[in-house]
Amino acid sequence: MACSLRRGCVAISPLTLILVCCLLLAGCGSTPAPVSSRTPPPSQKINHHIVGQGDTLFAIAWRYELSVDSLARANGLSRPYNIYAGQRLTLDVSRTRSSRTVNGGAVAPEKTVRSSSKPAKRVVQPKVYALPKGKWHWQWPVKGAISRRYDTNRVFKGLNIQSAKGRKVGAAAPGVVVYAGRGLRGYGQLLIVKHSETYLSAYAHNRKMYVKEGQKVAAGQKISEVGGDPENSGRLYFEIRKNGKPVDPMRLLPRL
């Protein structure tokens, strides 16, 4: 090590130099790990849901991408799916509550033990109406351009249809309205129509809704107007679900 005779020298061992170099290289080479901007579905975060005022089983099933029938079976519920505020519902639909035979043939779920502090007020459920019979076909709910297509990597996987504010939104197929409200975050004023034991369709960000829960609707019947809130003005969000899971509407709707 070279140094001036008039100045003091500090001896640095080779091992110290190696350690310093390694630390500098590690600091330069490390970069922050990329963070995904996608929010995972709620069903991947929790395994239960606490019922709130205004909740319906259909809305809860929609939120967690479950079929209402599988959610009802997992919680030992039968039609008309009465639930109450504060009730804890399991979201693990892979485990169906056991049942027992009653009166030599009728099958009923086992009674659920509930706390004596159960709230007296029950969440109002829609009446059960018969689903449409016979064959039916899907049709577009509104005229407009597709501004965003079906995407399984998004939380909201359906279509964004850019249209005109106030334009008529028609039911994509005959069915029964099973949800009408704005209790599901991110959908604005939302309508959900049940078409069969397999299919549901949803219409979000409406400016005005013309139908209510339990009401039968025909294909093409005016059910709402394109909204709505400032962020989604002139745009309809449309989604179809099969057995509780989102599917690509473009595979079912007629070609544009």
Instruction: Kindly list the domain boundaries of the chain, sorted by start residue.
Output: 42-123, 145-251
pLDDT at site 15: 58
pLDDT at site 178: 92
Distances from the Cα of 94 to the Cα of 60, 73, 244, angstroms: 17, 10, 14
Dihedral sign (CA 140, 143, 149, 154): negative
Cα–Cα dist 93/68, whole Å: 10
Q: Does domain 145-251 have CATH number 1.10.3720.10?
A: no
Cα–Cα dist 239/158, whole Å: 4
pLDDT at site 175: 96
Cα–Cα dist 42/60, whole Å: 11
Which element (helix H / strand E) includes 22?
helix 14-29
Instruction: Answer yes or no: are the C-beta atoms of 201 and 208 closer than 8 Å.
Output: no
Cα–Cα dist 180/191, whole Å: 5
Cα–Cα dist 254/136, whole Å: 13
Instruction: Answer yes or no: are the C-beta atoms of 162 and 147 closer than 8 Å.
Output: yes
Of the CA atoms within 13 Å of residue 225, those in its CB half-sphere come to 11
- Which residues of the chain are modeled with pLDDT < 50? 2-9, 28-40, 43, 98-117, 119-120, 126
Which element (helix H / strand E) includes 62?
helix 57-63
pLDDT at site 114: 40
Q: Does domain 42-123 have CATH number 3.30.540.10?
A: no
Of the candidates 106, 62, 70, which has an alpha carbon nearest to the alpha carbon of residue 203? 62
Q: Tell if the pTM clears 0.85, that is, is over it.
A: no
Identify the three-state secondary structure at position 72.
Answer: helix
Cα–Cα dist 155/15, whole Å: 53
Burial of 15 (0-12, 13-18, 19+ CB in 10 A): exposed
